[in-house]
Each structure stands twice: as C-alpha cells, then as structure tokens.
Chain A
C-alpha cells in the first residue's frame, strides 16, 4: 500500500488560511469517506483534528475543516495561529481493510 501524497511543506502568515492536500486512489481516499487528519507537534504524539472527511472531534477548533473531491482530500486551517505550526498527516481506510497515512506536511506559520 503506497502512502498518500501530501505536499512536504506549506506556510502562511498569522490570520491567513492554508490548505493541505492529500491524494490517494479509488481504493482508499476516493472509495471511502473515512479520511482523517492528525496534528503532531515535535516530540509529541499525534492528535486527531478531523475524521470522516469533515467532522471535528470534541474540543478541536472550528478553524479546522476538511473536504474531499474524488481521490483528493483537503485540510483547511483558517485564521492561522502560531500554535498551529506542526506536522499534519492525512489517513484513509483502504479496500484491503487496512489504513494508510500520507507522508506528512510541515506547516510553518511565518
């Protein structure tokens, strides 16, 4: 199972919005609405930010939103804050009943 494709890095200024893409295939992202996004700060365990394409776990800011079109899912962060600087990973369920992650995107808040 090949990893999902994410940009290696994105950046934005405080207050701006950024979008991170996550491209898979019809056997994973395109075939199921089971795409999730995770935030990871250095030295910390990942934290769920979005699940089932566009749902936020309790306690996650509504500045985080998700969407999907075909084989590509996206995470949008609006009103960027310094604390949003982290690595972000997408994940999808697959047709083999397994899970696959993206390679990760480093978000820099300028």
Chain B
C-alpha cells in the first residue's frame, strides 16, 4: 500500500523553528517529485514547496521563501521541511504529497503546526 506518514508538528513560539518529516512506503520514493501543502484552520489549501526526485529542482511559495527549506533522503524514503522564523500565519496542518504525473496523490495524514506565544 502506498503510504505517507507526516510527523514533527507541534506548538512553537513566533520566531522559532520546527522540522517536519514524512516517511514514505509502498513505492519507489526516489522516482517521484514530492511536495508540502498546508491548510490553515478553517481555510483552503496552499502549496508550500516542491522538490524533484533527485533534489535538483526545488521551488517555494513566496510566503515561505527564505524561511523554509525542503529536502529529501531517498535512501531513507523520507521528505523533510525545515521551518525557521515561524510566524503566527504559518499555523496550519502540513501535508506531505507525492506528485504522480502532475497529480497530487496520495496525501499524508497531515501534521499540525501551531505558532503562538
């Protein structure tokens, strides 16, 4: 079964840092581009970042550029999101998502990040 398991969320103060992880199983992780998508409480989906299969191509939403860093370890079947200088508006559920020929499928279960003093 293809599965993505998100972890690493929690409560952090404004200006703090957090590292999210996504463990992949059931497919050849190194063959796929991967993404992070977030959803603020009661709001819509917002694409955050993408990384190509070999980490050569990396892109960020303007809202997180310069503060967040996406990375992956194909040997460990894992995707990461290092989040620095966190703001209250970064509060959201963060989903790890596989890109299958321009289709986001499947999605992880999500991990909640709360930025509050």
Known contacts A36-B104, A46-B95: A97-B57 contact under CB 8 Å = yes
**Residues in A whose Cβ lies below 8 Å from that of B95:** 45-46
**Residues in B whose Cβ lies below 8 Å from that of A91:** 45, 47, 104
Distance from B17 Cβ to chain A, minimum over Cβ atoms (Å): 24
Question: Which chain A residues in 30-63 approach chain B with CB under 8 Å?
Answer: 34, 36, 38, 40, 45-48, 51-52, 55, 57
CA of A38 to CA of B62 in the docked complex: distance in angstroms?
A: 23
Could you say which interface size class chain B belongs to? 20 to 34
Contact A1 B62 (CB under 8 A): yes
Interface centre among A34, A91, A96, by most chain B C-beta atoms within 10 angstroms, is A91
Known contacts A1-B62, A46-B107: A101-B47 contact under CB 8 Å = yes
Known contacts A36-B104, A51-B102: A98-B44 contact under CB 8 Å = no
CA of A84 to CA of B59 in the docked complex: distance in angstroms?
A: 33
Query: Does B50 make an interface contact (CB < 8 A)?
Result: yes
Distance from A96 Cβ to chain B, minimum over Cβ atoms (Å): 8
CA of A47 to CA of B110 in the docked complex: distance in angstroms?
A: 13
Contact A104 B44 (CB under 8 A): yes
Total interface residues on A, CB under 8 Å, equals: 26
CA of A102 to CA of B45 in the docked complex: distance in angstroms?
A: 8
Contact B110 A45 (CB under 8 A): yes
**Residues in A whose Cβ lies below 8 Å from that of B106:** 45, 47-48
Q: List the B residue with the shortest CB-CB distance to A32.
A: B102
Contact A38 B45 (CB under 8 A): yes
Contact A45 B108 (CB under 8 A): yes
CA of A36 to CA of B35 in the docked complex: distance in angstroms?
A: 15
Return the 3 tightest CB-CB contacts between A and B, nearest first: A51-B103, A99-B47, A48-B105
Beyond the given A38-B45, A101-B37, could you list 4 further A-B residue pairs with CB under 8 A, ordered by the A residue number?
A: A3-B44, A47-B106, A48-B105, A91-B47
Binding site for A on B (CB under 8 A): 35, 37, 44-47, 50, 57, 59-62, 95, 100-110
